[in-house]
Chain A
């Protein structure tokens, strides 16, 4: 603590804190406020004077909520929001179903093997996200080998019965291809936090459970799973939140029935040239993910504290 009283240290400290702080305020927070501001303005009228007026010597703020009125009036937006939440949730569940056993067996595999396995999970991070999505286009398109296997084994009838594809043999541009693509690209984000958590678990707790008469199955559900709660939450949020606003995968693998909110924002901005409407859609999206974001942040902070 005495060190902090040295004057040079103090100055260095405020520079080190100040630069990233200022940077984040300027390029992360300020743009959000601008989006919020745009969202209550109309096309072509985006000046401060337009939303403020001076009446009786006091500054009056006139907000134009027409964008939000449009949002609630047009069912397209509601459907897109609900669809985004639904597909993100389904993707998260699939990532968890595949990723949890994967991380579990990875953490329980031979110690000398683990760095290699970890490296193999990390490697997809280094290859392009865009190309990983594109790869599925080739696999699921008519004649792609995955598509051939699925139609060959008549699994497409099952998918059709589940309502995730619209016609037998037609796998691309469906709910199915969208969820497969998102699960594929986000799976490592689920595995890594789970592995980090499971590999640190004290195995003596399982021995204790076993000594107390628990079967491995019971011990798994009542000891391992509760202890890995932080990993489950971190992984789920890392998958769920970006998935809600995903754009590239729905555009390349989704179809007309899988409109997601990221695409709505994109289209409002690029095709309709209506940034205020895009902003209003984005503001609602931020509100939707603010709760999961807070949960994610809380666990992130807790994980950081736990490392000390």
Chain B
């Protein structure tokens, strides 16, 4: 029992709190520093030369970054949409269909891109595209090939997110719909879909941000004239510190933070509404 006094109550609590605070500082301070230095008048990261919006002004005239951002956004929207569609199908397959030929193999292929080093995925897709192009003259490297690469990676992430939600669903709801005569497609659109909408939204946002951020696969799959924003940032970061990168970073972080905040407010509201509806329905019964 004497160990409990040492490790049990107050000390452990304080230690735990300190660890959490330290961990969060480790996670957040670098990003905060990055954002603060985007307002630095000085070019040097080591020296604070006073507040300035100079780098943001430069950013507005930087056609390389703006074109890159535009291309990145287009690719991200297209690949997030595709990823969610394919990922939902894959998640559905994994959760609902317990037995089909090659299920283990399929599971492996869905999970592998989550951890597979991107250089391998980038290189292998590139070589395949080159081989296909040699035979049929299509696809030219650019938007389409980058989109395919992002779709490959995003699909697995979307599948994992949607799968987690599908597993938590009560299968009796779908069974009840089927017993009441709904066709499988109707069961999906009328019963399953409304219940997994939130996970579809978060899967879309996640794959969108993954695509918006991707360097390695994009570098392998991009062609002349198709330089996405991360590729521009990466080539500048390689050369050294560049305050305009800090400014882009700040803009991106703010945009993403707003999107995530809006989405989570929406999700929380939908959650509350559903809880309210369920409790109202239960009151009607009794």
Contacts and interface: CB of A to CB of B under 8 A. Distances in A.
- Whether chain B is bound by chain A comes out as yes
Interface of A: 3, 6, 8-9, 12-13, 16-17, 19-21, 23-25, 27-32, 34-35, 38, 46, 98, 101-102, 104-106, 108-109, 117, 119-121, 123-132, 134-139, 141-145, 184, 187-188, 191, 215-217, 237-238, 241-242, 244-248, 251-252, 262, 265-266, 269-270, 275, 278-279, 282, 285-286, 289, 293, 296-297, 300-301, 304, 307-308
Contacts of B216: 247-248, 262, 266
Contacts of B155: 20, 23
B282 interface: no
A242 B167 CA distance: 27
B90 A20 contact: yes
B265 interface: no
A144 B241 CA distance: 11
A98 B23 contact: yes
Given A17-B93, A20-B155, A127-B253, 15 more contacts: A24-B106, A25-B109, A31-B121, A34-B124, A121-B27, A123-B260, A126-B256, A135-B33, A242-B117, A248-B215, A248-B234, A289-B115, A293-B116, A296-B115, A300-B111
Nearest to A214: B3
Interface string B143-157: 000001001100100
Contact of B117 (A125, A128, A289): A289
A24 B110 contact: yes
Interface in B90-144: 90, 92-94, 97, 100, 102, 104, 106-121, 123-128, 130-131
Smallest CB-CB A-B distances: 10 pairs: A143-B46, A245-B117, A31-B124, A105-B16, A135-B30, A215-B3, A241-B115, A20-B90, A135-B34, A128-B213
Contacts of A135: 30-31, 33-34, 249
Contacts of A145: 33
Contacts of B130: 275
Contacts of A237: 115
A126 B206 CA distance: 7
Contacts of A138: 33-34, 37, 45, 241, 246
Contacts of B46: 141-144
Contacts of B92: 16
B30 A184 contact: yes
A134 B37 CA distance: 12
Contact of B256 (A127, A252, A308): A127
A282 B123 contact: yes
Contact of B241 (A137, A188, A238, A246): A137
Nearest to B183: A8
A135 to B, nearest CB: 4
Contacts of A184: 26-27, 30
A17 B253 CA distance: 37
B209 A252 contact: no
A201 to B, nearest CB: 16
B206 A296 contact: no
B45 A106 contact: no
B52 to A, nearest CB: 17
Contacts of B97: 13, 16-17
